[in-house]
Amino acid sequence: MSDQIHVLAVDDDPAICECLADIMSLNPAISIQTANGYRECLKHFQDGFRGILLLDVMMPEKNGFETLREIIAQDLLNDTIVLMVTAEEPGEAMTGLESYIFDYIRKPFNTSELLMKVQRYAEYL
């Protein structure tokens, strides 16, 4: 694991992105970037993002599962840990993605639990 933990938080709600960025900034070893939805997320991956992806499930245009499928289809998921962020149970929409998703983060966030999960999963990078 490198000294810096790179995190990309993707949500269509700027307030949620800001909240996730604030939480991640509590750990100086975390470098946080945010993306507002599918297109910005994909651009980060096309530009070489590698690290921990905090991906919202419910987004317009393409939901989190569709976004993840697109990242996989473009072969951009290398060296990335996927944590889905959701207020609901994932259900059948995640079918076929189980081997790519490490965990689910439930809304509303528990700050200490979220930081602990990011730090723990960063050890796999």
Residue 69 within a domain: yes
pLDDT of residue 2: 55
- Measured over the CA atoms of residue 53, residue 98, residue 16 and residue 108, the dihedral's sign is negative
Residue 25 within a domain: yes
pLDDT in tens, 7-55: 999 999 999 999 999 999 999 999 999 999 999 999 999 999 999 999 9
Strands across the sheet with 5-10, in order? 30-35, 5-10, 51-56, 80-86, 101-106
CATH (domain of 95): 3.40.50.2300
Q: Look up the domain containing 65 and give its range.
A: 5-109
Residue 55 within a domain: yes
pLDDT in tens, 66-78: 999 999 999 999 9
Residue 118 within a domain: no
Residue 62 within a domain: yes
Query: Using an 8 Å Cβ cutoff, are 7 and 54 in contact?
Result: yes
Q: Is the pLDDT of residue 1 over 50?
A: no
Helix (H) or strand (E) holding 29: none
- Measured over the CA atoms of residue 106, residue 112, residue 116 and residue 119, the dihedral's sign is positive
Number of domains composing the chain? 1
